[in-house]
Amino acid sequence: MPMRKVMKGNEAAAWAAKLAKPKVVAAFPITPSTLVPEKISEFVADGEMDAEFIKVESEHSAISACVGASAAGVRAFTATASQGLALMHEVLFIAAGMRLPIVMAIGNRSLSAPINIWNDWQDTISERDTGWMQFYAENNQEALDLILIAFKVAEDERVLLPAMVGFDAFILTHTVEPVEIPDQEVVDEFLGEYVPKHAYFDPAKPITQGALGFPAHYMEARFTVWEAMENARQVIAEAFDEFEKKFGRRYHMIEEYKTDDAEIILLTMGSLAGTLKEFIDKKREEGLKIGAAKMTVYRPFPIEEFRALAKKAKVLAILEKDISFGIGGAVFADAGRALVNEKEKPILLDFIIGLGGRDVTFENLEDVVEISKKALDGEKVEEVNWIGLRKEIL
C-alpha cells in the first residue's frame, strides 16, 4: 500500500531519489543545494538506500561526478539550485552531449545580485538551452512523481538525455503537504533497472567518451541531441500514460483548468498554477470567462499542446518568474515562436511576476486580469508587464 506522509518538497524529492535507486548521488552540502542531499545522506547512512554518496567541493564537481558515474553506466542523481546550478552550467552541456540520463532536482531560486535565496525560475530558465529536459512541479506530490517520470524518460533509448525537475524554493521545498509515497515494487516495475547500452565502463571493451569532435562531426553530434529532444515528446506522453496506470495520477504536458469557454487564459508553471486555479474559481463566480493552464514540461517545449491551448483563448497571458533582459519573459518568447506562423492566434501578453520570492497575491492577479481585459477590448497595453513592482521606490 502506498504510504501517505506529511513532508516538505525537499523530502519528497529525496524520497523520489530513494525510490529510483540511483547508484551514485553527488552533492555539495550548502544551502543552494537544498536539503534534498541532506535527506538522501540520512537514507544512505541508515542503510535504507544503497548508493554511493559523494560529498564534493562544489556544484561543478557534483555534476561532474554524476557525469562520471553515468558515463560508467549507473543511475546518477543530484540536487541543487540557484547559483549552484549556474556553477554547473558548463558541465550540463557535456551531460546532454554525451547523452547521459542524469536526473537532477532543483529547488527553483533566483540568481544574484542582489543575493536572494527565494523562489523564481531564473536558475533553470537560464539552463534551457543546455539539452536537459525540464519539468516543473506544482506541489510536493508532483515533485516526487516528476522525478520518477524524469528517470523513466531520460533512460529511454529513444531519448537518453538528462532531465531537471524544478520545484519552487520555500513555497514547496520548505513547506509541508501530504505526499503519497508509492510502493517500492511498483516503482521498480515502472523504472526497471538502468542497463546502459551506449555509455558504460568495461575494461574488456574499452571506449572513448567525451572525445574531440572536429567540425566534420560536431554538427551531426548536436543534431542527435536535437533529435532526442524531439523524440522525448512521444516518450513523455507514454510515460505519463504508464504513470497513470501504475500510480493513478495523471500528468499532461500542459494541464488546462476551465479553459473550454475561456476568453482569457492565464498560463504559468510550477506552484503559481495552484494559486491561479483558486483565483480562476473566484473570477468564474464573478462571471468572467477565464481559465488557467499549467506547463508541466518546458523542455521539450510542448508546441502542439500550446497551439491547441492558444486556439481556445482570445487573450493568452503568460505569467512567469524569470526575465530575459532585453526581450522579456523566456516562456513568452518560446510561446511566440510556437505561434508565429499560425493563422489564427490570440493576443499574447507577457507578465513578469513574483521574482526573488515576492508573493503573488490575488491583487497582483487582478492587475493581470485588468490588463488582459484592456487587451481584449482592443486597447494597447505594455509589451512587457512587471506585476507587483514597487514603482514608488524606483
Chosen residue from 211, 308, 327, 333 binding another protein by CB under 8 A: 211
Q: Mask 87-106, x = binds another protein (CB under 8 A)?
A: ----------xxxx------
Residue 326: count of CB within 10 angstroms of its CB:
5
CA–CA distance, 68 with 74 (Å, rounded to integer): 9
The smaller minimum CB distance to another protein, of residues 205 and 343, is found at 205
Pick the closer one to another protein by CB: 126 or 209. 209
For another protein, the binding residue among 45, 213, 362, 382 (CB under 8 A) is 213
Compute the distance between CA of residue 392 and CA of residue 242 in angstroms, rounded to an integer. Answer: 52
Element holding 6 (H helix, E strand): strand 3-8
Quote the CA–CA distance of 161 and 154 in Å, as a whole number: 5
Residue 202 binding another protein, by CB under 8 A: no
d(CA 288, CA 278): 14
Strand order in the sheet with 103-108: 52-55, 24-27, 76-80, 103-108, 163-168, 133-137, 297-299
Interface stretch with another protein, choices 31-39, 201-209, 249-257, 278-286 (CB under 8 A): 201-209
CA dihedral over 178, 179, 180, 184, signed as positive or negative: negative
Among 46, 185, 220, 363, binds another protein (CB under 8 A): 220
Q: Minimum distance from CB of 209 to another protein (Å)?
A: 5
212 binds another protein (CB under 8 A): yes
Nearer to another protein, 202 or 370 (CB): 202
- 136 φ/ψ angles, rounded to the nearest 5 degrees: -125, 130
- Determine, following the binding rule CB under 8 A, whether residue 195 of this chain makes contact with another protein: no
Among the listed ranges 27-35, 218-226, 265-273, 334-342, the one in contact with another protein (CB under 8 A) is 218-226
- Give the other-Cβ count within 10 Å of 44's Cβ: 17
Locus of grid cell 499560425: 342
Which residue, 231 or 385, is less far from another protein as judged by CB? 231
Q: Which is nearer to another protein, 208 or 341 (CB)?
A: 208
Site size toward another protein (CB under 8 A) is 21
Is 269 a binder of another protein (CB under 8 A)? no
- Binding-site member from 56, 209, 238, 373 for another protein (CB under 8 A): 209
Cα distance between residue 323 and residue 344, in whole Å: 27
Q: Does position 154 bind another protein by CB under 8 A?
A: no
Does 216 interact with another protein (rule: CB under 8 A)? yes
As given in the structure block, the three cell numbers for residue 322 are: 524569470
Kindly report the number of other CB atoms within 10 A of residue 208's CB atom.
6
Which residue ranges make up the site for another protein (CB under 8 A)? 97-100, 160, 198-199, 205-209, 211-214, 216-217, 220-221, 224
